Structure 1
Amino acid sequence: MSILQIRVSILILTLCLTSYSQDKKFKIHTVAFYNLENLFDTINDPTKLDEYSPMMEIKTNRDVVYRKKINNMARVLADIGKETNNNSPSIIGVCEIENKMVLEDLVNDSLLIDKDYGIIHYDAPDARGIDVALLYQKKIFTPLNSSTHGLKIYDDQDQSRVYTRDQLLVSGKLEGELIHLIVNHWPSRRGGQARSNPKRVAAAKVSKRIIDSLQSVDPYSKVIIMGDLNDNPTNTSVKNVLNAKENKNEIGMKGIYNPFTTFYKNGLGTTAYRDVWYLFDQIMITKPLLKKDTYSLKYYKAGIFNAHYLTHNKGKYKGYPFRSFSNGNFTNGFSDHYPVYLYLIKELEK
């Protein structure tokens, strides 16, 4: 897949709403997810294996590097959706962050501080200390409840517990409507895709249980599932366990729609390794967000955010995501993943 193909295919979508009557006006909300690639602070925490993080490998000017990393992440978050609705995302799921402090530094960066983002974060048992979290504009989204859901998986050789990321569930009001958001960072493919597959299947089962519990209370629950899944849309964890479908017409009452399946089948991805593209970063929704009624929140479109500055434009990794760290050094890049996003719309009353 060439960089030209990527740019042509996944430029930020201009929200024309041409399928709707021209005299209608809509409120647009961007919901995004971004793997922040090892957003660690500069302090060694003896309770975590953070000494192995790229930030701790920086030998000089570590504080300067940290501030630049924060600013680079803020730049990306400020830009997602900006061309469409002149605003940064209403809601952002993030992963590969060390603690709440780095998120506080992030939302207080000069590029984001005026958005007044709130933070929902729980410390998880991941051995390296990396967590997931949710950021939200306080004037737009009102959280009502949040909880963290652990994943118990074991090493396939010695059966020791593998400590990994929890899943975050946040329920709250957007445009006066109750929505539920699940933020994920499923187990990696360390040791190979096949060998590690049961771990991601187990993670998918946790997500499915959360969704089932929400739908048992209200079958019309509006649920958004997002994250770095370390699996593609066609892998067992997503396609079979979550039963996420590409075709909206095949989705049952409690089904899940995955718009990123089409992107993947068209050869697009959010991260690359050895010239192979993977679409690990995804956002999925339940059927009630697909209904035709535009007087309530409705899914419109999804995309992969690939601004030109997020991609290497020369050298060995030309066309790859412009990551922050390489060979123990800071590259002044961003992340080894592209962010993903979707638009929710609601018709304004006349």
Structure 2
Amino acid sequence: MKFLKFPLVLVALFLAFTVNAQEKKFKIHTVAFYNLENLFDTINDPTKYDEASPIMEMAAANRSEVYEKKVKGMARVLAEIGRGEMSRNAPAIIGVCEIENRKVLEDLVNNPLLLGKDYGIIHFDGPDARSIDVALLYQKALFQPTNSSSHELKIFDDQTGKRKYTRDQLLVSGKLDGDDIHVIVNHWPSRSGGEARSRPKRVAAAKVTKRLVDSLQSNDPYAKILIMGDLNDDPTNASVKDVLKAQANKKRVKLKGIYNPYENMFRKKGLGTTAYRDAWSLFDQIMVTAPLLEKDYSSFRFFKAGIYNKQYLTNPRGRYEGYPFRSFADGGYTGGFSDHFPVYVYLIKEVE
């Protein structure tokens, strides 16, 4: 946790506070999301289709060493997301996807780079055909979960009519440093078969997310909700714009509305979190509901969003220079991190 001191001019320019004779102090917490790119262990689980994971496709003699390097790399990134710009602490809350099971999460949070933060884990085994799940990590000293639940997405093959098993959505409610918040962690269906053909599956996923948001808001219209994940859609696609009705302009977000700070990053600045065939996509996003946009900083409010795309996370050479530096390619371990950049938001609260 860090206490921020804003001089009067910064308060006026950036936070729109009334100018007065006092210097204001703020707590700041980082909330992040990261696609961990195939974080599988080295053990063949006969109940799962994990033998197709990149690690299990390697020679058995190399698996343990690669796994240790992969976990260390992921721990390094998670420990550093959002640090240095406004915060000195690792994220208070981290949503993750593409993880095989609870064991890999335990190995991750027990890595020396994260161990001192005492992260808790919320994870449910899901039905995904690739055996990958979503999960939530949280610093126990900063966030206390009060409820968690897993919500299935039923989608079907458009040719055979058979069910396609994909990731569940994770809903976690709790108190962030005393404030009630809700977090929905997503990993929506991929674009396999093409964007247009696969689009209905992501629209269906967005409808599940929207139902969760509606349910929370029916109990409390002022619920503070963060929607995060690898959506496999950009902020301008129908799933986000038409189903979630996320807005790029804060002024257009009404009570029960959703603000997406990543739309303008994508549409106006051309930024992305993953790249394919020399085109950037911004699939990884964190959206917030209207109560997090209010200017009364007596409780936590949204301050800023970002993409954590430090130089060491980008491919340094070759055909994919400048792309996210992925862990696995051409059947081997690259020494990289993930084929996605992490995303994060800062939440701030005024303190006495």
Give the TM-score of the pair, scaled to structure 1.
0.94
Q: Counterparts in 2 of 1:132-211, with a 5 A limit?
A: 132-211=134-213
Matching residue of 1:54: 54
Q: Quote the Cα distance in structure 1 between the aligned partners of 2:5 and 2:264.
A: 19
CA offsets, 1:11-70, max 9 Å, x none? xxx996823467001100000000000000001111111111111111132101000000
Q: Counterparts in 2 of 1:187-336, with a 5 A limit?
A: 187-265=189-267, 266-336=269-339
Q: Counterparts in 2 of 1:83-98, with a 5 A limit?
A: 83=84, 84-98=86-100
Q: Quote the Cα distance in structure 2 between the aligned partners of 1:56 and 1:39.
A: 11
Matching residue of 1:23: 23
Q: Counterparts in 2 of 1:95-114, with a 5 A limit?
A: 95-114=97-116
Contact in 1 for aligned 2:73/2:337 (Cα 8 Å):
yes
2:112 alignment partner, SS class: coil
One-letter amino acid of the counterpart of residue 65, structure 2: V
Matching residue of 2:81: 80
* Alignment CA distance shift 1:100-1:16 (3 Å): farther
One-letter amino acid of the counterpart of residue 108, structure 1: N
Matching residue of 2:70: 69
Structure 1 residue 295: Cα displacement: 1.0
Give the TM-score of the pair, scaled to structure 2.
0.94
One-letter amino acid of the counterpart of residue 342, structure 2: P
One-letter amino acid of the counterpart of residue 203, structure 2: V
Matching residue of 1:39: 39
1:202 alignment partner, SS class: helix
Q: Quote the Cα distance in structure 2 between the aligned partners of 1:281 and 1:289.
A: 20
Q: Quote the Cα distance in structure 2 between the aligned partners of 1:304 and 1:209.
A: 27
Contact in 1 for aligned 2:6/2:23 (Cα 8 Å):
no
Q: Quote the Cα distance in structure 2 between the aligned partners of 1:15 and 1:226.
A: 29
Q: Quote the Cα distance in structure 1 between the aligned partners of 2:327 and 2:62.
A: 15
Contact in 1 for aligned 2:5/2:25 (Cα 8 Å):
no
One-letter amino acid of the counterpart of residue 143, structure 1: P
Structure 1 residue 270: Cα displacement: 0.1
1:165 alignment partner, SS class: coil
Matching residue of 2:129: 127
One-letter amino acid of the counterpart of residue 79, structure 1: E
Structure 1 residue 175: Cα displacement: 2.1
One-letter amino acid of the counterpart of residue 92, structure 2: S
* Larger RCO, structures 1/2 (Cα 8 Å, 6+ apart): 1
How many pairs align? 336
Q: Quote the Cα distance in structure 1 between the aligned partners of 2:45 and 2:129.
A: 12
One-letter amino acid of the counterpart of residue 285, structure 1: V
Quote the RMSD (CA, aligned, Å).
Answer: 1.2
One-letter amino acid of the counterpart of residue 57, structure 1: E
Q: Which runs of structure 1 show a deviation greater than 2 angstroms over 4 or more consecutive aligned residues? A: 14-17, 19-22
Q: Quote the Cα distance in structure 1 between the aligned partners of 2:5 and 2:110.
A: 29
Q: Quote the Cα distance in structure 1 between the aligned partners of 2:6 and 2:248.
A: 23
> Structure 1: any 5+ residue segments left out of the alignment?
1-13
> Structure 2: any 5+ residue segments left out of the alignment?
none
One-letter amino acid of the counterpart of residue 70, structure 2: K
Matching residue of 1:9: none
Matching residue of 1:5: none
